[in-house]
Amino acid sequence: MNLRIEVDIGGQWLSLWRGNERLRHWRVATARNGPGERHGSECTPRGRHIIRAKIGAGQPLNTVFVGRRPSGEIYTPELGRRFPGRDWILTRILWLSGTEPGFNRLGACDTMRRYIYIHGCPDSHPMGIPSSHGCIKMRNHDIVELFDLVPPYTPVYIKA
């Protein structure tokens, strides 16, 4: 099918491409700390990646994930107020793995071991403003749409 995802950190956009045709374009939120590959940096890693795992198929919108498993909670603004410091991972997870050894794969820069995802977040979180802990956050309806369109191992290119 020749699909690929491109993430533009500078513009805070995620695009889905088939060949030279852009199929979809969504506003996202990447890392508050900007781009970077080091473990513990809370930065969004750059370069070539793949979707290593798709998690959450069939779960309701706003399903809360903890350790990549549904916690049994459904996010609501009231739940958000009760746990204000929680890093909300909602609805679906596309777990990324770097493909460039020494840059975003293996050692102290391994995207997968850093648990970098494309995932849903509370609808109250602004898009277009860097605010994550390294992941790429999307609106819940948008992540469901993307999740349903891409298979595992879809290439993902993240540029600053």
Residue 77 DSSP SS3: helix
Strand pairing report for 90-98 and 69-74: unpaired
How far, CA to CA in Å, does 121 sit from each of 2, 43, 78, 99, 113? 28, 17, 15, 26, 21
pLDDT at position 1, please?
Answer: 65
Predicted confidence pLDDT, tens digits, the chain (160 residues): 699 999 999 999 999 999 999 999 999 999 999 999 999 999 999 999 999 999 999 999 999 999 999 999 999 999 999 999 899 999 999 999 999 999 999 999 999 999 999 999 999 999 999 999 999 999 999 999 999 999 999 999 999 9
pLDDT at position 142, please?
Answer: 98
φ and ψ at 108, to 5 degrees? -85, 10
> Which strand (E) or helix (H) includes residue 82?
helix 77-82
Question: CB of 136 within 8 A of CB of 117?
Answer: yes
Question: CB of 118 within 8 A of CB of 14?
Answer: yes
Question: CB of 79 within 8 A of CB of 62?
Answer: no
Structural domains in the chain plus CATH codes: 3-159 (2.40.440.10)
Greatest CA separation found in the chain? 45
Number of CB atoms found within 10 A of residue 68's CB: 14
3-state helix, strand, coil split of the chain in percent (to 5) is: 10, 40, 45
Burial of residue 22 (CB within 10 Å: 0-12, 13-18, 19+) is exposed
